[in-house]
Copies of this chain bind each other. A is one copy, B any other.
Amino acid sequence: VSVTFPRGFRAAGTTAGMKPSGRPDLGLLVADPVQSVAGLFTTNAFAAAPVRLSTRRLSRGVPHAVVVNSGQANAGTGLRGDHDAEQTTALVAEALQLDASDVLACSTGVIGEPLHMEQYLGAIPGLVSSLSDAGGDAFAEAIMTTDAVPKVAAAERAGYRVGGCAKGVGMIAPDLQLATMLVFITTDAPVPPSDIRLLATETLEPRFESLTVDACTSTNDTVLLLSSGAAGGDLVVSGTDAWVELTAAVDEVATSLLLQLAADAEGANHVILVEVSGAESEQHAQAVAREVAESILVKTAVFGGDPNPGRILQAIGSSGVPFLPQLVDGFIGDVQVIAAGEIAPSYFDGGDEAARLALVEEREVVVSVSLGNGQGRSRMIGVDLSYDYVKINAEYST
Residues of A within 8 A of B (CB): 43-47, 73, 75-78, 81, 110-113, 170-171, 173, 175, 214-219, 294-297, 300-301, 303-306, 308-311, 313-323, 325-326, 338, 340-343, 347, 385-387, 389-391, 393-395, 397-398
Contact = CB atoms under 8 A, between A and B. Distances in A.
Chain A facing B: main interface SS: loop
Contact of A325 (B45, B303, B387): B45
Given A112-B343, A170-B297, A325 B46 contact: yes
Contact of A216 (B76, B77, B295): B295
A324 to B, nearest CB: 9
Contact of A112 (B171, B316, B323, B342): B342
Per CB-CB distance, the 8 closest pairs between chain A and chain B, nearest first, are: A111-B310, A304-B394, A112-B343, A46-B317, A300-B393, A217-B318, A44-B317, A45-B317
B46 A111 contact: no
B77 A45 contact: no
A217 B297 CA distance: 11
Given A317-B219, A394-B301, A214 B296 contact: yes
Contact of A343 (B76, B304, B340, B343): B76
17 contacts: A43-B318, A44-B318, A45-B319, A45-B323, A73-B310, A76-B309, A76-B342, A78-B340, A214-B297, A215-B294, A216-B296, A216-B318, A219-B314, A296-B296, A296-B393, A300-B389, A303-B394
A313 B219 contact: yes
A175 B76 contact: no
Contacts of A218: 314
A281 B76 CA distance: 24
Contacts of A321: 45
A109 to B, nearest CB: 10
Contacts of A320: 43
